[in-house]
Structure 1
Amino acid sequence: MLKVKQKTLSMTTRDNIRLDADVYYPDSLDSFPILLMRQPYGRKIASTVVYAHPIWYASQGYIVVIQDVRGRGTSQGKFTLFSHEIEDGVDSINWVSEFPNSTGEVGMYGFSYQGMTQLYAASASPQALKVLAPAMIAYNLYHDWAYENGAFCLQANLGWAIQLAAETAKLKGDTIAFQKLYEASRNLPLFDAIPANPSILQELAPDSFYHDWLNHPYYDDYWANLSPKNLLKKIDLPMLHIGGWFDPYLRGTINLYQEMKTRSQFPQPLIIGPWAHLPWSRKVGSIDYTQEAISPIDKIQIEWFNYFLKGKEREFLNQPSICLFEMGSNHWKFFDLFPKNKPISYYLFSEGLASIREDDGKLVHSPESLPITDTIVHDPWRPIPSLGGHPSIPSGSFERSTIDSRSDILTYTSDPLTEDLTIIGEVLVEAYCTADAPSFDLCAVLSTVDQQGKVYNFTQGYIRVNSQELPIKIPLQATCMRISQDYCIRLSLSGSCFPAYPVNTGTGKSPKDEVLIDAKIITLMINSGGEKASRLNFFTI
């Protein structure tokens, strides 16, 4: 490992805005490639919540640049979410490529916002940019980040908006606003008259992106203009795609990977660990995935950048391109493609008491001939609490038998498995469900049930329904889960998952207009058995 020095440098954008960066570089006269991270949280953090410190990366023989984006940290200008990241990204790449003692070739790394800045910069094809490592990103900003199947991702979006607003107040020296926002971040304001549009953001952050996201509840030009999907159509670069089974943006990571895999001339490896958005550790929620789950990403990224920026051979590229952590067995598995050759369906069946008795609702391999309707009543006064999964804070797997015992949740449980079963990739629920309101929500949670009756979720999905087209298709988060023999599979269905998503008032209004006092009691009816039996679909290996 090389000895590392550090200094702070500034550049000027094409419109004369100063951007500041910390530069970590080897104490050597040799020339080195550059690794660039552009982020909005104060450059000293440098994404160390999931990555090794830049000093470590620099010690591997790189000039590492951690830059405050426009209007964040000590950089000048006004911060507007994602709006300047193409031009500023290109200007930054051109700037660092001319550093003394650099090879002039640039790689970028980072997750979340720092992953998005990679994609925006790459969309303009800067000549010096050679390789990326985007982690936990949105390919389509609407579908992969802000909304899930038409439902606003309330807890994640609101928490993030308050965090960024507090940073803005801090930069302005507004002590009162910062303190109010800081307190709100520790106890999210979820109970205003319009729950999804709290007064604190209207008052203290009127220019927050959050208002734009609420004001565009359907995919339109606003989303199209900001989405990497529409910016990267002609871009081809090697990308190391990194995701987590409990990351709320996993669908974006997978969608970008699948698009690049189909048309790229370069390697496009995909790694998905049993991680939440952060941290990337062995324990997520209540489950310890063992030492196998400790993040290997720092060492893999160095091998990745060594191959493309230094011409060194890389063992990782000789393996199949998909590397998935199989929860349950707690081992990494390698595939050339997501397996889709062994589809399995479980059909829902009950005697009409699936909301009352946990031994009534069943998952069966073929539909029963007798059609039955299971009924639950969604009461907005006492919505189903969100617990773990990918949309909640904290994320992960938790014991949820107490929640499943509620009478406003339908549970369907399989017989004990006669052999181990791996569920991998896409999971889909097709629900023949109707309601007595013009709009309603459906939440689907898939769990294991052990011999002691403990229930642990491992994937879930959510949808806002504004039409009566049947069946209602609920995509669950992609997964890779090995379920042991003698365990059962359970599907839980409900009409809410709060505060991960806003409670549907049943009025058909968008979240920005849903007034709490107007929330209706909604009766949901789900078919089990007969020709229109609802079912659970997944793939196995």
Structure 2
Amino acid sequence: MSRVIVEKNVAVPMRDGVRLFADIYRPANDESHPVLLLRTPYNKEDAQTMNYAHPSWYARQGYVVIVQDTRGRWTSEGEFDPYTHEAKDGYDTIEWAAKLPYVVPKVGMYGFSYCGSVQWQAAVLQPPHLVCIAPGMIGSDAYQGKAYRNGAFSLALLQSWVLFAAQDTAIRRGRSDWIAELGSYYANIQAYYRRLPLSEPPEAVRELAPYYERWLEHPVRSEYWLGQSLQESYGSVAVPALHLGGWYDIFVDGTIENFAGVRAQGATAIAREHQYLVIEPWYHMPWSRYVGELDFGPEAANRIDELQLAWFDQWLKGQEPASAPAPARYFQMGSNTWQEAPNWPPPGSTRTAYYLHSSSRANSINGDGQLSLTEPLDEHPDVYVYHPSIAVPALGGRSGAVPDLTPMGPRNQLPIEVRNDVLVYTSEPLQEELELAGEIVLELYAATTAEDTDFVAKLVDVYPDGRAYNIAEGILRASYRNGLTKREAVPPGEVLRYELSLGPTAIQLQQGHAIRLDLTSSLFPTFDRHPNRLIDPGRATEADFVTATQTVYHDELYPSRLWLPTIRNEAKEGRGEP
């Protein structure tokens, strides 16, 4: 099948009279075919081809492919308000597509990031002709892991995204002056990240993207966020889903939560029994074996189109796979191989405590910070000073969405590990390979002189030649230590226990490598600079900045420790490994 019929700018009426426009790609024959739907705010003519094959490729595989501009974007009518209309608009589009004269009335959806979110929002309403979805790189909650993480504002992700989204709105309004202004902010993005207060953006951003200020006006997880979050609606999802995540993607923990949540709570047996998780070593985009400064080998190459084709062939054409896929399939970094498991985390993953130690001070790689399995006895605490005007920069990591603009992927951490405001704890070289698969958690005992502050932790793989590549990271705003729905001031000088998630990973640390924990109080511009005061992120200015002296304890009474999800030898044998 080589010829494809293309229909451009087909009007799709919504229930409120707004018309959304779509391009349709279909095989040039008289047969009927099932539908693949991609709904995007990023231009239907692009069709997310940075990561996926062109829609004509899918059409040649026997599908009617519909790519639609979402409301208020590019060719479609209406006003763009992120996520507000996507559930009903998705439902209406699915049911419209199922009635086209040349289709089999079965619809599957694909797309990543925002285009993954719109799939979930439509699925929750249970449109009758939606059969399956394939959401990529999307989280479970509009607040946690997207706009904020444990109270810290996702600065680089949101500001860069807003600048991009506002450009199309400026074009639609014919404001060439605003288009040029937004372009200048893009060109000087690092300076833009330093603008304060955050709640007073430039006029172009304020007029074109008013939702940005609303996000800042709601710094705790309140009712405002619930309508945009999936995790409260797992019980309404009635379709199979192929979940795609990346170990360096900002949404990876939410992707795993979606997989587990629908698997446990889905509205139908077919939904609960047919959730599948695939995690690559990738960041948000583009998808490749080359991520940041590392090459994960040929097994990490982008073969998503073949994977999705098999998925849609199964559910939309009834072509059963030669063998049933495992519910969880994940790329193990380090060995650069694929692993399969019946769930996540895989069976045999056990929490193992690695304790923080130092005999003098752990400040920087010049210090004597250590990680070991030995419990601490009588040790002096480590002290560092954090001031937001000299925040520790983020090198790589789990931001999003464009590596040229935001800190993403694995990068050598030595340039920040030379700083005294970074505590560095390193294990002895490993005597044998060590497998990790699951969530990494830091149990931290610390005190601060501030009424509020941040703690940032990073797990690092130290190579024998000294290179140190980040694996996972996490942040916790101290005032959110007891939950995301309220803030509580920190009693200055009081030792408190914090639990800080660094998120999930799967890696085989090689013999001769070492495990390292970096601990500090900023990860800029991935997250906003904390002023060390109990103040809304949007209101803080340089005049609000105060110094925080942070004391980290690791003794018998306050045994700070890093909990690593280790795979023991007996678990490997259960997988059939030598």
- Bin of the TM-score, shorter chain as denominator length: over 0.9
What is the number of residues matched between the two proteins? 539
Q: Distance in 2 between matches of 1:331 and 1:150?
A: 35
Structure 2 distance, partners of 1:193, 1:345, is 40
So what's the TM-score if we normalise by structure 1? 0.97
C-alpha distance in 2 between matches for 1:118 and 1:478? 24
Q: Which runs of 5+ in 1 are unaligned?
A: none
The answer for the alignment partner of 2:455 in structure 1 is 442
Determine the structure 1 residue equivalent to 2:559. Answer: 533
Amino acid at match of 1:197: S
Match in the other structure for 1:511: 537
Secondary structure, aligned partner of 2:231: helix
Contact 1:247 1:276 in 2 (8 A): yes
Match of 1:239 in 2: 241
Please state whether the residue corresponding to 2:227 is helix, strand or coil.
Answer: helix
What does residue 335 of structure 1 align with? 341
Whole-angstrom CA distance in 1 between matches of 2:311 and 2:15:
31
Displacement after TM superposition at 1:193 (Å): 3.3
Deviation for aligned residue 1:61 = 0.5
Matched, 1:321 2:347: no
Partner of 2:166: 165
Using the TM superposition, give the Cα deviation of residue 271 of structure 1 relative to its aligned residue in structure 2, in angstroms.
0.4
- CA deviations on 1:146-168 (whole Å, 9 max, x unpaired) are 11111111000111111111111
CA distance in 2, matches of 1:350, 1:144: 33
1:484 to 510, 534, 538: 510
TM-superposed deviation, 1:331: 0.9
- Going from structure 1 to structure 2, the CA distance change for 1:310 and 1:193 (only over 3 Å counts) comes to closer
Aligned to 2:124: 123
Structure 2 CA distance for aligned equivalents of residues 234 and 109 of structure 1: 19
- Percent identity of paired positions between Structure 1 and Structure 2: 35
Q: Which of the residues 370, 384, 390 maps onto 1:376?
A: 384
CA displacement at 1:416 relative to structure 2: 0.6
Q: Deviations over 1:493-539 (max 9, x none)?
A: 00111111111101110101111221011100000232212100021
Structure 2: distance between partners of 1:349 and 1:239: 44
Tell me the equivalent position of 1:63: 64
- Which runs of structure 2 are paired with 1:343-358 in the superposition (5 Å)? 343-356=351-364, 358=366
1:3-22 alignment runs, 5 A limit = 3-8=3-8, 9-22=10-23
Q: Is the 8 A contact 2:126 2:236 kept in 1?
A: no
Summarize deviations over 1:373-392 as a string: whole Å, max 9, x none.
10000122211001111126
Check conservation: 1:119, 1:232, Cα contact below 8 A.
no
Q: Which 4+ stretches in 1 moved above 6 angstroms?
A: none
C-alpha offsets along residues 25-55 of structure 1, whole Å, 9 cap, x if unaligned? 0011111000001111111110111111111
User: 1-side partners of 2:477 and 2:39: how far apart?
Assistant: 34
Aligned pair in 2 of structure 1 residues 463, 214: CA closer, same or farther (>3 Å)? Answer: same
Say yes or no: does 1:431 pair with 2:444.
Answer: yes
Answer yes or no: is the 8 Å Cα contact 1:358–1:412 preserved in 2.
Answer: no
Cα RMSD, aligned residues only: 1.5
Partner of 2:140: 139
What is the CA–CA distance in structure 1 between the aligned matches of 2:339 and 2:293, rounded to whole Å?
23
Correspondence for 1:385: 393
Q: CA deviation at 1:203?
A: 5.6
Which residue of structure 1 lines up, in the alignment, with residue 295 of structure 2?
288
Q: TM-score, normalised by structure 2?
A: 0.91
| Distance apart, 1:202 and its partner CA | 6.8
Q: Which runs of 5+ in 2 are unaligned?
A: 401-405, 480-488, 568-578
Structure 1 Cα separation of the partners of residues 423 and 121 of structure 2: 43
Question: C-alpha separation between the residues in 1 aligned to 2:366 and 2:28?
Answer: 65
**C-alpha contact 1:193 1:517 (8 A) present in aligned 2:** no
Q: Cα deviations across residues 215-273 of structure 1 (Å, max 9, x unaligned)?
A: 10001111012212233422221000000011111121111101012234231110000
Change (3 A) 1:356 1:58: closer
- C-alpha separation between the residues in 1 aligned to 2:199 and 2:303? 40
Q: C-alpha distance in 2, partners of 1:79/1:356? A: 46
